[in-house]
Amino acid sequence: MSGLLAAAAAAGWVDAVVGGGGLVLIPALMVAFPHLPPAVALGTNKLTAITGTTVAAVTYARRTRLDRSVALPAAGLAVPAAGFGALSASSLPADWFRPAIMALLIAVAVFVTARPNFGALQDPDAVSRRRRLFVVAFAGCGIGFYDGIFGPGTGTFLIMVFTSLLSLEFLQSSALAKVVNVGTNLGALTVFAVQGQVLWLLGAAMAVCNVAGARIGAKTALRRGSGFVRTVLLVVVACMVVKLGIDQFG
C-alpha cells in the first residue's frame, strides 16, 4: 500500500508539471494487483488524478495568467468527449493506438529539441480568432475523446497544442492543460463510476497523496519557469515512448 501511495504522489507531481502521471500510477496499480481488470485500473486512476489535477489547476490560476476564453469552453467540451471515449474504450484495441502515439511522441521530442526557443517566447496576440476556436474544439473534443478511450500523455499533448497553436510559453500552456484535463478526467470518471469500475476507498487514499504531489509540482514549475517545464516534458515523452514500446512489442 505504501508503494501505491508513493506512486500516487509522484504521479501528481508529474501531472502538475507536464502531464503523464497515468504512466506512473496505472503500472503501479497493475503491479500491486496483477489480476485487476484494466478498466478498473483506469477508473481508479481517474478518481485519483482528478483531485490532483484540480488542485494544480487552481494553483496555476492563482499564480499565472490563464486564458479563460480557451480554458473553460475546452474543459466543458472535454467532459462529454472523454465520457464518450470511455464508453468506446472496450470496443477499440489499444494496439491500434500505440504505434501512432509513439510516432507522434518521437516527433514532439525531435521538434522541441531542434527548436530551443519553442515554449520560451510568446506572442498570443498574433493568434486569430478562428485558430483559437479550432484549438478549443480540438483540445476539448479531440484530445478529450483520446483521454477517455486510451489516455497516456493527455496533458503532454494539450501542452503541445497550446504552445504551438496559441504561441504560449510552456508554463502558461501547462496551466491551460490542467483546466482542460480536469474536464477530461471528470467525463471519463463519470462513465467508469456508472459502470462500477472504480475502487473508491483505494482511489480516495491515493488521491490525498496525489494532491500533495500536485501542489509541490505546480509550485515547482511556477518557481522554475518554462525552461524547467521543457526539460520535464522531454523526459516524460521519452518515458512514454519506452513504456508504449514495451506494451506494443514486449
pLDDT at 9: 93
Mean confidence (pLDDT) of the chain: 84
- Residue 187: predicted pLDDT: 94
pLDDT interval class at 1 (50, 70, 90): confident
Q: What's the mean pLDDT in 40-61? A: 90
129-138 average pLDDT score: 92
Q: Check the CA dihedral 234-6-190-67 and report its sign.
A: negative
Query: What pLDDT, on the 0 to 100 scale, is given for residue 118?
Result: 60
pLDDT band at 36 (very low <50, low <70, confident <90, very high): confident
Kindly list the distances between the CA atom of residue 198 and the CA atoms of 139, 191, 202, 238, 250, in Å, as whole numbers in the listed order.
26, 10, 9, 29, 28
Model confidence at 209, pLDDT cuts 50, 70, 90, reads: very high
**Residue 148: pLDDT over 70:** yes
What pLDDT does 124 receive?
A: 60
Residue 126's pLDDT is 67
Q: Residue 191: which pLDDT band, with cuts at 50, 70 and 90?
A: very high
* Beta carbons of 162 and 135 less than 8 angstroms apart: yes
Confidence of residue 125 (pLDDT cuts 50, 70, 90): low
pTM: 0.84
Q: What is the pLDDT of residue 117?
A: 65
| Domain interval for residue 127 | 2-249
Contacts of 177 (CB under 8 A, 6+ apart): 19, 155, 158, 159, 162
Start-to-end Cα distance in the chain: 27
Indicate the number of domains in the chain: 1
pLDDT, residue 128, reads 82
